[in-house]
């Protein structure tokens, strides 16, 4: 029996003590987020990028090699979220403002493995984990011939049900395309559905794709909750 198996067999329940609602997991999440925000603030954007420079170089080398060996072929995965109490238009309005506002904190706060998000002379830069790899890449290509792939994507949903669509290439500073994203939103009676598809080179291990589907779930859930709170 491994240590993990031993730990999994033990359960601990909170019987009494702390005021207010929440589980021990909720308490831990609060403190983890507070500690992470402290380190991000103390290091600052450039300090964090300097600290991660070697990891970024290694992560980008992984993506570059994956793109080379995949010869332009990608495999895809999709995370679907159901949101209530907010329309897709309201959410996307908040997202547009967050990316354009120059304050990356609300964007970074959505996931522990967000390190930088902003726009520079190349485009919209994202520094985050792709699977276990810390990578720095750009998003762009909306409305250009570079996005023709999205029109024929198997994951493309009917316009009548998902009228709000955003597609992007993910590319490195040297222009190497290392992924794609296709996100589609459709309103429901009490909210909206977010259909979030990511594409990685076919030579990327399946667990890299699986981890990013979880990454999507965490970051978009938190962005949606933050957008709703901003409208309250």
- Nearest-Å Rg of the Cα atoms of the chain is 19
pLDDT value, residue 148: 87
Residue 1 has pLDDT above 50, yes or no: no
pLDDT digits (tens, 9 = 90+) for 114-133: 999 988 888 899 999 999 99
Which residues pair with residue 83 across a beta bridge?
A: 192
The pTM assigned to this predicted structure is 0.92
Residue 81 has pLDDT above 90, yes or no: yes
| Helix residue ranges per DSSP H, 103-232 | 105-108, 148-151, 206-231
pLDDT value, residue 9: 86
pLDDT digits (tens, 9 = 90+) for 166-192: 999 999 999 999 999 999 999 999 999
SS3 percent helix, strand, coil of the chain, rounded to 5, is: 45, 25, 30
* Domain map (residue ranges) of the chain: 52-231
pLDDT value, residue 101: 78
pLDDT digits (tens, 9 = 90+) for 25-68: 999 999 999 999 999 999 999 999 999 999 999 999 999 999 99
pLDDT value, residue 162: 97
Of 3.40.190.10, 3.40.50.300, 3.40.50.2000, 3.30.530.20, the CATH number of 52-231 is: 3.30.530.20
């Amino acid at each position: 029996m491994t240590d993990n198996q031993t730990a999994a067999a033990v359960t601990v329940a909170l019987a009494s003590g702390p005021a207010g609602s929440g589980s021990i997991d909720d308490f831990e999440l609060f403190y983890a987020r507070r500690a992470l925000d402290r380190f991000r603030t103390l290091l600052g954007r450039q300090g964090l990028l300097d600290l991660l420079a070697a990891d970024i170089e290694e992560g980008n080398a992984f993506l570059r090699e994956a793109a080379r060996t995949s010869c332009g072929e990608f495999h895809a995965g999709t995370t679907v979220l159901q949101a209530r109490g907010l329309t897709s238009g309201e959410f996307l309005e908040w997202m547009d403002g967050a990316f354009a506002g120059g304050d990356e904190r609300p964007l970074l706060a959505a996931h522990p493995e967000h390190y930088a998000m902003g726009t520079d002379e190349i485009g919209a830069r994202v520094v985050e984990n792709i699977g276990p790899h810390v990578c720095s890449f750009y998003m762009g290509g909306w409305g250009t011939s570079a996005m023709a792939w999205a029109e024929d994507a198997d994951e493309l949903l009917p316009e009548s049900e998902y009228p709000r669509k955003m597609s992007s290439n993910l590319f490195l500073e040297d222009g190497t395309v290392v992924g794609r994203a296709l996100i589609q939103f459709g309103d429901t009676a009490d909210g909206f559905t977010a259909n979030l598809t990511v594409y990685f080179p076919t030579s990327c291990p399946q667990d890299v794709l699986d981890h990013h589907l979880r990454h999507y779930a965490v970051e978009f859930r938190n962005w949606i909750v933050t957008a709703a709170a901003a409208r309250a």
